[in-house]
Amino acid sequence: MGMPELLSSETLLPEIAHADLVAQLTVALPPASLLHQREDLKPFECDGMTAYQRVPLLVALPENEDQVRAVLRICHKGRVPVVFRGAGTGLSGGALPYAQGLLLVMAKMKQILHIDPVARMARVQPGVRNAAISEATAPHGLYYAPDPSSQIACSIGGNVAENSGGVHCLKYGLTVHNIQKLRFVTIEGELLEIGSEGLDAPGYDLMALITGSEGMLGVVTEVTVKLLPKPEKAQVVLAAFDDIVKAGQAVADVIGAGIIPAGLEMMDKKATAAVEQFVRAGYPLDAAAILLCESDGTSEEVANEIGRVKEVMKNAGATEVRTSRDETERLKFWAGRKAAFPAVGRIMPDYYCMDGTIPKKQLPYVLKRIDELSAKFNLQCANVFHAGDGNLHPLIMFDANNGDQNSGSLTHNTIVGNIITASKTVQLGCVPRSLDRTQDNAYEYIACTSPANGDKIIALRTSDDTAVFQLAIAAPTFVLVRPNDTQLFVGQGNGHVTTIDISKRADGSRKNVVLPKRTITLSPGNLVTSLAFVPGGGTLIVGTNTGFTFNYDVVGNLPALIASHQSFNGVAAVGLSPDSTKTYVFLNAPAYDLDASGNVLLAGNVHIMNTATLSVLSTLNCSPNPITAALLVKKRYFYVTQSDGTLCTVDTTTDLVVNSSAPGGFLAAEDIAGKRLFIADQQDNVVETVTLGKTGPTSDQQGVSFGGLPANSTVVGLSVFSK
């Protein structure tokens, strides 16, 4: 893949000095809206196309149209190149900045300005998430139809710039067909209004010119979208095929029969296998490919169309044809499709997502060729796509660390029961699950499980890296040392949180005894995945795999439940803001899930809650990928690692995701001095150091590799102490 021509060019140098430019922009923007320190800029170095990265000269985050215009006028006068960015989920590198240019990020302009249910329109700012429009208009029985798979994160401004489509676009059209009016600022800072709230507008029809212009003609500052009434009924046919070419032919047959389904999507066997492990959508795993074909409208229309679709599928050779029996099942079928990208991200360290549209009649031929190429180059390829409009997304899986990229299979390592320290390898005889150190750095407490040797908590003395103490405890999954080093909380696989007294005796040794009656008992289905302690209030936040977040008072004689929140998917980590007033809940569940009534829950990735009441303040989406761990660094930023090896950084002062796609790892620890970050990467046996900048992690990767881990190790935790 070649570098786009302009990118390799360094001719676009600004004609005004950096300091002058910063001075001028400082007048035009509030202080928090102009980033110019390298460590603040680093998170914006790429979008969803992570293969190319370039740190911008400056980042501007305007809060209103006047600020957008002022920034553009200054840049135009100084001949500073500008690139626009929405949520940075684009897969074609459109938001990749210039090293000598300004990145204009629209993320702070995220207000829904007006909803007109009668005219079925909504006026929104460009940073509003696609899914947020349907969420806001649902009470009026309305929704916004174009639904890119990234809809929980991508912005409407980005959708306009990319003319984005999704499952429902086959029947309801692309972005261009679903917008009415735009406010738009040219690179010179001139404001234009295009389109109107009526059916037609005077002058040239520039809507189609701007839509899909990829940010090359100016920046969208306001979008008036069309809204549709939620259909009375929707139903999905799931058809399985023993041959991918037959499935491709069935797509052509559906369209050929004059049926325009509300959605027509295809997934091949590799994609369904990945999805089933992840969301259990109920897909048949023996099928070479499945088709999901949705019909919506009145009950009569749906019944009629579903009957015709089933017939076409059977005639095309489907081995199984199922119809969703109720709304819960329909949403379950779609939940699998929508989680396909992150599902593939879970099983392979890297994948390259192609995005191309082909004539529909060529589907069988193209799918056959993809299969042949996959075999020829020994690269697995999962196919997930909007089959109805011929928009393919072959996901080419590879392992960037594997020179010839031919491993082809997931190498999930056997866990060996060792703790690797700077000085030696300590044989534990059990599998470490989690570790935490005392604040005085004297001990490392390790949760360790083993069917043969029994589960236990081990205390490692850090002065000589010797295991000095063992305490039998069932299925320990998470350990947390209370800040004053007097108690150790142990989360367990059986739904308990046990408190161990680790305070010092008079002779300086630790007591290490289970405190009677200090065990919190959750319901048995709750495996405790994470704990966080709120120092001021003396409360403990408990995250579990079943998605509960409990808040317990652990100061009194018995732990008392203060509040609980139950509607989350699996909680990967819980963390607190530096002042503990906010609780961040990081999810490892798919971005989409169903509640008990079958409504789609946009679970998102990070819920920000009021610590005292556990009420949700806001929801952030790093990306639709499950989160594996989260760590607060520099007393300000959460460094959030995701299952597909990407990281996102959440700024706790603004509660904005400041990066959603830089390369990351899956576990991290900050050193005592706050200068370095240690990261375990996805290959389990590598630990790297990354320099921490003044305000957050950069991914400079300038540190050394921490070698010496045995080949079959899985890194389960990192802890840093000074000796």
Ligand X SMILES: Cc1cc2nc3c(=O)[nH]c(=O)nc-3n(C[C@H](O)[C@H](O)[C@H](O)COP(=O)(O)OP(=O)(O)OC[C@H]3O[C@@H](n4cnc5c(N)ncnc54)[C@H](O)[C@@H]3O)c2cc1C
Residues in the site for ligand X, rule: CB under 6 A? 47-48, 83-91, 94-95, 106, 126, 148-150, 154-155, 157-159, 161-162, 164-166, 214-215, 219-220, 341, 624
Q: How far is the CB of 411 from ligand X (least distance, A)?
A: 24
Minimum distance of ligand X from residue 47's CB (angstroms): 4
The helix (H) or strand (E) run that includes residue 561 is strand 560-565
**Considering the complex, what minimum distance in angstroms separates the CB of residue 132 from ligand X?**
12
State the minimum distance, in angstroms, from the CB of residue 119 to ligand X. Answer: 23
The residue among 220 and 542 lying less far from ligand X, judged by its C-beta, is 220
The angle formed by the CA atoms of residues 655, 589 and 690, to the nearest 5 degrees, is 55
Alpha carbons 379 and 371: distance in angstroms, whole number: 10
DSSP assignment of 37-67: SHHHHGGGS--S-TT-----SEEE--SSHHH
User: Residue 448 CB, nearest distance to ligand X (Å)?
Assistant: 37
Pick between residue 157 and residue 665 the one whose CB is nearest to ligand X.
157
Give whichever of 348 and 574 is closer to ligand X, judged by the CB atom. Answer: 348
Minimum Å distance from CB 72 to ligand X? 11
Residue 220 or residue 237: which is nearer to ligand X going by CB?
A: 220
Name which of 1 and 673 has its Cβ closer to ligand X. Answer: 1
Strands (E), 125-210: 142-143, 179-185, 191-195
Query: CB under 8 Å to 145, separation ≥6 — which residues?
Result: 168, 169, 172, 173, 178, 228
Min dist CB 679 to ligand X, Å, is: 22
Cβ nearer to ligand X, comparing 215 with 696: 215
Q: How many CB atoms lie within 10 A of CB 556?
A: 9
Min separation Cβ 207 and ligand X, Å: 14
Which pairing describes strands 381-386 and 391-398: parallel, antiparallel, or unpaired? Answer: antiparallel
Contacts of 417 (CB under 8 A, 6+ apart): 427, 428, 429, 430, 431, 432, 448, 450
| Nearest distance in Å: CB 542, ligand X | 31
Question: What is the separation, in whole angstroms, between the first and last Cα of the chain?
Answer: 48
Closest distance between ligand X and the C-beta of residue 633, in Å? Answer: 25
Rounded to an integer, what distance in angstroms lies between the CA atom of residue 186 and that of residue 82? Answer: 11
Within 96-174, where are the H helices? 130-137, 156-162, 169-172
Q: How far is the CB of 60 from ligand X (least distance, A)?
A: 13
Q: Closest CB to ligand X among 96 and 542? A: 96
Would you say 154 or 347 has its CB closer to ligand X? 154
Most distant CA atoms of the chain, gap in Å = 88
CB-CB neighbours of 596 under 10 Å: 7
Whole-number minimum distance, CB 85 to ligand X, in Å? 4
Measure the CA angle with vertex 693, ends 611 and 36; round to 5°.
95
User: Which is nearer to ligand X, 391 or 583 (by Cβ)?
Assistant: 391
H or E stretch including 368? helix 363-377
User: CA 9, 13, 17: angle at the middle one, nearest 5?
Assistant: 160
Quote the CA–CA distance of 339 and 589 in Å, as a whole number: 10
Query: Whose Cβ is closer to ligand X: residue 600's or residue 609's?
Result: 600
Residue 546, helix vs strand vs coil: coil
How buried is 500 (Cβ within 10 angstroms: 0-12 exposed, 13-18 middle, 19+ buried)?
buried
Tokens 């009677």 locate to 516
Shortest Cβ 214–ligand X spacing (Å): 4
> Which tokens go with 260?
């325009």
Residue closer to ligand X by CB (options 213, 580) is 213
DSSP E strand boundaries for 582-675: 582-587, 592-594, 600-602, 606-610, 616-620, 627-633, 637-642, 646-651, 656-663, 667-670
Q: For residue 318, which of 253, 390, 374, 382 has the smallest C-alpha distance?
A: 253
* CA distance linking residue 590 with residue 122, whole number of Å: 29
Residue 593 to residue 345: CA distance in whole angstroms: 18
User: Which CB atom, from 84 or from 172, has the smaller least distance to ligand X?
Assistant: 84
Q: Give the nearest distance from C-beta 342 to ligand X in angstroms.
A: 7
Q: Are 447 and 478 in contact (CB under 8 A)?
A: yes
Place of tokens 């139903």: 235
Q: How far is the CB of 126 from ligand X (least distance, A)?
A: 4
